[in-house]
Chains A and B, each alone.
Chain A
Amino acid sequence: MTAYDPCAHCEEMMQQYMDRVLTDAERVEAEAHLNECSYCRKRYRFEVKLRQFVHQTVIEPMPVELKRRLANLRTPLE
């Protein structure tokens, strides 16, 4: 039998914790572990920064010309 590894469990729950979809009991458990474990806390802070970075870095502004072409698809006013 494999011994329970709280950090491995925390790693498994991390994304759902960040997505705020854990049950109350799971969230309390995750927070308690993050409070006491600097190894997981560092990784949690990294994941938060990483998500922000990915979110911002992939934004490519829509070409103005495309915007104009979309506007031209509107139904002409009679």
Chain B
Amino acid sequence: MSETTREPDARRIATDARDRVRFEEDALALSDQVYRVARHLVGSREEAEDLMQETYARAFRSWRSFQPGTNLRAWLLRILTNLNIDRGRRQQRTPDTQPLEEGDYFLYNKLEASSDGSGDEERIVQRLSQNDVVEALSEVPHDFRDVVVLVDIGDFTYADAAQILDIPIGTVMSRLHRGRRILKQAMAESAAGGEAA
């Protein structure tokens, strides 16, 4: 009798251990992609590294709450963004009354105006440096940056970004729209500053 009750227990424990190992391996395999997003949600590499460690420690502890077959990368990013908010790394709230930023064509118009007019679109993009982009991204207020980073750098869909940040999809769309414009405005300023220097 005792043999027959112990056996299913042993099997369950073995299955559980196997599932956990598989989960941990799957999560680790995604770490490069998670880091790519994490790095631009916070200000420094050190913060991103801390956040990654906290995220993976929590993910490994609560692996049972992950539903197999759903998006593991989004699940990890949800933990990461929650931790980021909990740790008070996002003190900055963006007032709704900011003046309207420039339109979508602003950056192109700026770069084209300062070129000799002979460049095609590719060459005009190349007027931006890596530093222009990274610096500009760090200037986008957090609420907007989170969405831009998830969608444009992390390649998440609007629906995934909404789930990760726990905001309605309409808010994702409006923040993305505005965040991209703020980013382009900051890139235009950064590029102009670089030329002046």
Interface residues of A (CB under 8 A from B): 8, 11-12, 14-16, 19, 21, 42-43, 45-51, 53-55, 57-63, 66-67, 69-71, 73-75, 77-78
- B34 nearest CB across to chain A (Å): 9
User: Which of B32, B107, B177 meets A15, CB within 8 Å?
Assistant: B177
User: B113-132 CB contact bits vs A (8 Å, 1 = yes)?
Assistant: 00000000110111010100
Residues of A close to B45: CB separation below 8 A? 60, 63
Residues of A close to B137: CB separation below 8 A? 54, 58
Main secondary structure on B side of the interface with A: helix
- B65 nearest CB across to chain A (Å): 15
The residues in B between 133 and 186 inclusive whose CB is less than 8 angstroms from any CB of A are: 133-134, 137, 151-153, 158, 173, 176-177, 180, 183-184
B interface size (C-beta, 8 A) = 43
Per the bound structure, the CA–CA distance linking A14 and B107 in Å amounts to: 14
Residues of B close to A50: CB separation below 8 A? 107, 125, 128, 184
User: Which of B121, B152, B173 meets A49, CB within 8 Å?
Assistant: B121
Per the bound structure, the CA–CA distance linking A28 and B152 in Å amounts to: 24
A-B interface pairs (CB < 8 A), number? 97
A75-B108 in contact (CB<8A): no
Residues of B close to A42: CB separation below 8 A? 108, 121
Please judge, given known A-B contacts A66-B52, A75-B60, whether A49 and B31 are in contact too, CB under 8 Å: no
Main secondary structure on A side of the interface with B: helix
Please judge, given known A-B contacts A67-B31, A70-B56, whether A75 and B24 are in contact too, CB under 8 Å: yes
Q: Max chain B CB contacts within 10 Å: which of A43, A45, A58?
A: A58
B153-A55 in contact (CB<8A): yes
Judge if B104 is at the interface, Cβ distance under 8 Å. yes
Per the bound structure, the CA–CA distance linking A23 and B192 in Å amounts to: 37
Please judge, given known A-B contacts A21-B158, A66-B52, whether A15 and B176 are in contact too, CB under 8 Å: yes
